[in-house]
Every structure is written in C-alpha cells, then in structure tokens.
Chains A and B, each alone.
Chain A
Amino acid sequence: MDPPETRTRRRRASARSLLADRAGRRAFASFIGPVAIVAALPLLPFVNHYILAVTVRALIFIALGQAWNIVAGIGGLLSLGHGVFLGLGCYTTGFLFNDLGIPPWIGVWGGVLLSVGVALVMGGMTLRMRGVFFALATIAISLALDQLARHFVDLTGGDNGLALKFLGDSLWAAQSRSPVPFLYGSLVIVVIYYWITRWILMSRFGLEMQAVRDDEVAAAAAGVAVFRTKLLGLLASAAMTSIAATAYMQFYMAIDPEAAFGLAQAIQLQLPALIGGLGTALGPIIGGAVMIFLSEVTNWGGAKLGISGIDILVYGLMLLVVVLRAPKGIVGWLFRSPQGSKG
C-alpha cells in the first residue's frame, strides 16, 4: 500500500495531465470533428429516420451522462438516484404543458427549480456523511418518488405515465415529427455541457471538488469548504440533468415511473461516464455513444433470438468490466501518456 499522500499526488498529477494545454488542444481537435459529422448527418444520403433517432437518443444520454459525471466523476459522490432529477424534469415539463399550457421553453426552468430544491434537501441531509450514506439516500429518494408517482394518478398518470399532448410540428411547443430539430437541440446541449465540464475541471471550484474526492480530510485541512463544495456540485449536476430531461421528454413525448426512477434507467445515466472515463470532459461523450451503440445491437440481437432484457445483462457486464479492468474508462486508455506511466 502506498501512503495516502503519494496516491493523492499521483491522482492530482493525472488530473493535471488531462488539463495540460497540449492534451486540451488534442481533446478539442478530437471533439470538433464529431460535432461537424453529427451536425451534417441529416444531409447525408444513406441516413434514415432510424439512424437519426438513435443519434438523438445517444446525444440525450450523453448529456445526462455529462450531468452525472459532474457529481460522480469530478465530485466522487455516487448518486444512484439521478433518475430523480430526470423524472422531476420530465414530469414538471409535461405537467406544465398539458395542464397549464406552458411551453417547455419555460417549463424546463420549473423542472430545474424543483430538481435543485430536491437536491438541496437531499444534499443538506446527507452530504456531511461519508459516501455510502449519500448513495443510500439517493436510492431512497428515487424509490419514494417512484411510489408517489404511481400513486398520485391525477398529477402523473400513475403506472401508465404521462404523455405530452401532440400539437404537430411547432416551435412554440418544441414538438416535431422529424428527429432533426431534436438532433440539433441535443447537440447544442452536449456541446455546452462539454464546455461547462471543461470549465469546471479547470476552475478553482472543480479543483476543490477533485481535492475533496481524492482526500476529504486533506482537502478540509487545506481550507476547502468540503460540505459546500459537494453541495454545489450536486446542485449543478441536478440542474443539468433536469434540462437534459426536458429534451428527453420532448423527444420521447412520454414518461412513466419505470423510465424515470427505474433501475435500468439509473444505470443508463451512469454508464456513459463510467465507460468513457470518470471525471473527464470527453468521457461521457465517448461512453454514451458506445453505450447506445451496444444497447441497440443487443436489443436487435435479443429480438432476433426472442430473449428480452439482454441489454440489462450487457449493462451489468459493462459495469463489471469497466470497474474491474479499466477504472479510467476509454479516455484513460486513449490518453495514457508516457509521463502518466512514469507515475
């Protein structure tokens, strides 16, 4: 066993190498290409509705993964209940639109407000404790909301869920038959989240979060306000999840308790960052694309073989492989530099 200081120093060093200028430029170069390709997708001849819809799905889950990455990757807090913020975002936007006629452009902020409020309560109660308790509390809140959503049928549609009223193609209601507008909308969110993540990683706030993640006691001794840092990270992540959730709601047009608070969904929120590389700006983007690709392939294969739920098995295996064999994800493997291996 290394003494803790050495381990911390090594982790700091690896974090710094990802932020170093050359690596940053490389990351930017490898980022602008894919953005251009995705933006040009609808113009290409062989691209059909299915490919566009899968791309939108991937982009939305990338955005959700980027939001989770803030709290779990940079902050080191294992939230197993980010479905809470996904659900609050979807249900709030949907309820405000269906019952009060408020368009999602405004409804999204209602969802953000609610999510941040819940995150404030959740974080205020649990973030003074060590990690396990935070993880347990997030599960508890997501299960409680699941039961409440199933029970208050008038508000949420109960087990059947909530479906948006469809008004046809409309900018005001952010609705469209074609996936193309959603493609550009979610692409914008992903790009903005990428820059937010990069900014957080380089800012004092992000460095404090990483310090708390790596060694809480040492960070506190160095003058970091541990509780406040963790709480701010959680609030930022909750707001980002909620905004991406509105994109989810507009694209899928429906939400139900299983899709919001279910286990499979909670895992899908975590896998992008885990596969791609926890705590990196590029990780959730690569990981989300890989996850959706694998999930589409296994669903297709499962349908051929007549077995349902194969994607859950694949998710479980992916979790195990990533955690046991490649804890730094694809980005950690791509950007392993000679300096990094020197330690």
Chain B
Amino acid sequence: MGDIEAALLLTLQAVLSGILVGGVYGVLSVGLSLAFGVMRIVNFAHGEMVMFGMYAGVVASRSFGIDPLFILPLSFVFVALVGAAQYQIVFRRFVGHTTLQQLLAAIGCALVLQMIAQLIFGVDARTATSMFTGQYIVLGPLFLSKAQIVAFVIAALATALVEALLRRTVWGKAVRAVADDLEAAEIVGISTQYVNISAFALACGLAGMAGTVLVTYFPTQPTAGFMLMPIIIIATTIGGLGSVGGTFLGGICCGMVQQMTAMLWNSALQDVPLYVLLLLFIAYRPTGFFGLRSE
C-alpha cells in the first residue's frame, strides 16, 4: 500500500507543478497563436522575444536591484517595440500566407536576434531574483515553488486580459474581423496595417512580459528562446493555432505531460512524449483543441 500511496503522491506533485509550469508555457505561446490567427504568420523568432524579456528581468535585477516583477509593463513595452520593428522590416510583406519564405525569414530573424543578445550579454547563463525566488509552500507532503505560483497567476491574468481585449473592445473586434477576412475588413474601413502591427506588437510584448516572469525561476542565456521554441510550438498546436484560450490550455497540457514524464519516468527524456504528442496532433487533429478550421 505504501508504494501505491507514494506513487499517487508523486503523480499529484507532478500534476500540480505541471499546471504551474504549464500556465507560463501557455502565456509564452499565446503571442505565437495570436500572430498566426490574425496574420497567418508563424514567427520562429517568438522565442527570441521571450529571451529579450528574460534579459530585461536580469538587467533590472542585477544592474538596478529592482524586482523583475515590478518592471513587467516596461518589458512589455520594450519587447512590443522590438516586435513592431520586426514586423515593419520583415513580416509586413508576408501577411496572409504562411509561405516557405516567411518561415525562413523568421528563422533568419531568430538567429540575428540571438547573436545580438550573445554579443551584449555573453554566452553564460544569467539568473534574476524576485522576492519569491527560492521560497516554497509546503502542503503536507507536497512542495510548490512560490515563484512558480506567482508566475502562474500572472500568466492566467495576462491571458484573460488578452482574451477580454479581443472580445470586448472595438480594437479586438477589428482584429477578429481582419483574422476572418482581410479584404472584407479593408472594405468596411478597417486600417489593416494598423491592426496588424498592433496585434503583432501585442503578441511580442506578451512574450517579453512572460519572459520576465519566467526568469524569476529559470535562468536565461542567448539560446534560451530557441530552447523554449519547441514547447511553445507544441503548446500552440495542441491548443489550436489561432486560439488564445486554447493555447493557454495547450501550455498546461504540455507542462503536465513534461512534469509527469520527468518525475515518473526519466527527466533526461522529459520532452520526448511531447514531440510524439505533437506528431499525433499534426497527423490526426492539426487544428488542436480549439484551432481555426481553415488552413
């Protein structure tokens, strides 16, 4: 009986920390999904936006002694501006079709941004500390990191806010109109250029903010963005490319699968079941749980 109890506890622990980690994966991925939903752009440089957000947290914490959690709005604005520049320079010409050229251009962006970070910060891993770093809540036999709980709450709030923006505001209505039919939206007088650039900036800013939250418990390095990219892609595909709430749930799924594999099987292979899951979804349900029907 003891063995079964221990296994159950371990599973519970894995599910709980999976949900906490997964919420952050979710908010990391929401931007990618949004950009695809509105513009059909798959931004392989999305991870680099997260990485810039992480470095913003490191700079705040190490150079200015400010808690990364206090600079969230700042890192949102900073990375949103980077995203807007990226859109203007590169992605403007690819709106509406996910082509080979668009994917390659995004990879080019990712490499350049990664090297910029490496030239500024060097290759070593950097950490940041917030007021919750390294603290745990003990619930009977279960341990939960406070930094992860705070990160999950912020992630859930941010996702809810984006969902509300899309559903309740005039801007959100315009974005959904453009996502539905670009030409029809133009005909009824929506400035698609403005909608696209603001949606892309929002997607990137959100990734940056999520990165700043993430860095409170996860060290960063120039390749951090690219290492997160597979998880981001998987969360987005499982949740459904183009659906904000679905992507958040997809992130939670990823977190749970990953933590359960790590705790119950083998932590060195924690991502392999995720890749298998991705393949299965692509083969049998490419729209994910809540994705766009077309395309």
Contacts and interface: CB of A to CB of B under 8 A. Distances in A.
Interface string B283-295: 1001000000001
B115 interface: yes
Contacts of B276: 144
Interface string A174-186: 0000000000000
Contacts of A139: 230, 233
A310 B118 CA distance: 10
A335 to B, nearest CB: 20
A62 interface: no
B14 interface: no
A135 interface: yes
Interface string A145-175: 0011011000000000000000000000000
Interface string A315-327: 1111110111001
Contact of B119 (A122, A141, A307, A316): A307
11 contacts: A72-B100, A126-B283, A129-B286, A140-B233, A151-B269, A310-B115, A316-B112, A319-B111, A320-B112, A323-B101, A324-B105
Contact of B112 (A125, A148, A313): A313
Interface SS, B side: helix
Nearest to B226: A263
B272 interface: yes
A309 interface: yes
Interface in A8-60: none
- Count class of interface residues, chain A: 35 or more
B105 A323 contact: yes
Given A143-B271, A144-B272, A307-B119, A126 B279 contact: yes
A140 B233 CA distance: 9
A133 interface: yes
B226 A313 contact: no
Interface of B: 42, 90, 93, 98-101, 103-105, 107-112, 114-115, 118-119, 123, 226, 230, 233-234, 237, 241, 266, 268-269, 271-272, 275-276, 278-279, 282-283, 286, 295
A139 to B, nearest CB: 7
Given A136-B233, A323-B101, A130 B295 contact: yes
A101 interface: no
Interface in A277-300: none
Contact of B237 (A136, A308, A309, A316): A136
